[in-house]
Amino acid sequence: SQKIEQNSEALNIQEGKTATLTCNYTNYSPAYLQWYRQDPGRGPVFLLLIRENEKEKRKERLKVTFDTTLKQSLFHITASQPADSATYLCALVAAGGSYIPTFGRGTSLIVHP
Amino acid sequence: GAVVSQHPSWVICKSGTSVKIECRSLDFQATTMFWYRQFPKQSLMLMATSNEGSKATYEQGVEKDKFLINHASLTLSTLTVTSAHPEDSSFYICSADRDRAYEQYFGPGTRLTVT
């Protein structure tokens, strides 16, 4: 069956360090992968999209990599700040079908001052 | 741009009553709107997809007679939870897209508690 796996344990890091979150998937042929941020009691907010033929995407302090061989995406936040504390969701859109994404459970990031 | 609102942000209702949740795209016309529910520390589960003027498409396992969706215009979709029960208590989130763009714009969510 299709699975999207994100680390269920919270990631605790110190302010200023780089946070790295992982998204692994099985039994998918994704056309593209998205990362969203979700704050408690709020809807997700779109951050970045990376297509299957792209290796890396950057936006300000954010960087996403996509390895279709490993079936994995890494999401990096450099120079992390306490305001980056939130849950980060990855979502996959399968190739050749609906454009509707399927979401992982998300990983909670806590940045300590 | 691309703001989606939901109303109410939270609601408490008694078991057996019905609750309506509104989802509006404020500054764009939404080709499609989506309804999700989310339990604590769980992923977003797609309930249904709705297009303006047509019947919603429900995901497997979602009761269409219990979760009524009306997509009356390109900027408004409503979800009515009929004869609500405590197990329907959850966080309901809508989203919208523009012309099948590659990102979805989410509303702030509605916390439903059924007592």
pLDDT in tens, A43-76: 999 999 999 899 999 999 999 999 999 999 999 9
The set of residues, in sequence order, having a beta carbon less than 8 Å from that of B30 and lying 6+ positions away, is B4, B52, B74, B75, B77, B96, B97, B98
Interface contact B44, partner A, CB < 8 A = yes
How far is the C-alpha of A70 from the C-alpha of B73, rounded, in Å? 43
Residue that the structure tokens 């302090």 belong to: A61
Give the pLDDT band of residue B100 (cuts 50, 70, 90).
low
Per-residue pLDDT of A76-85, as tens digits, reads: 999 999 999 9
Task: Verify whether the Cβ–Cβ distance B109 to A99 is below 8 Å.
Answer: no
Task: Verify whether the Cβ–Cβ distance A44 to B102 is below 8 Å.
Answer: no
Distance from CA of B15 to the nearest CA of A (A): 23
Q: Which residues of chain A are at the B interface, by a Cβ-Cβ cutoff of 8 Å?
A: 4, 8, 32, 34, 36, 41-46, 49, 89, 93, 99-106
For residue A40, which of A85, A92, A103, A104 has the smallest C-alpha distance?
A85
What residues of chain A lie within 8 A of the CB of B34, using their CB?
Answer: 100
- pLDDT number for residue B30: 85
The amino acid at A18 = T
Residue B82 in this model has a pLDDT that exceeds 80: yes
Of A46, A49, A105, the CB nearest to B42: A105
Residue that the structure tokens 């979502």 belong to: A91
Residue A98 in this model has a pLDDT that exceeds 80: no
Per-residue pLDDT of B17-36, as tens digits, reads: 999 999 999 988 887 899 99
Of A32, A46, A105, the CB nearest to B104: A46
A31 with A100: CB under 8 angstroms?
no
The amino acid at B68 = L
A34 with A94: CB under 8 angstroms?
no
Give the pLDDT band of residue A30 (cuts 50, 70, 90).
confident
What residues of chain B lie within 8 A of the CB of A32, using their CB?
Answer: 102
Residue B54 in this model has a pLDDT that exceeds 90: no
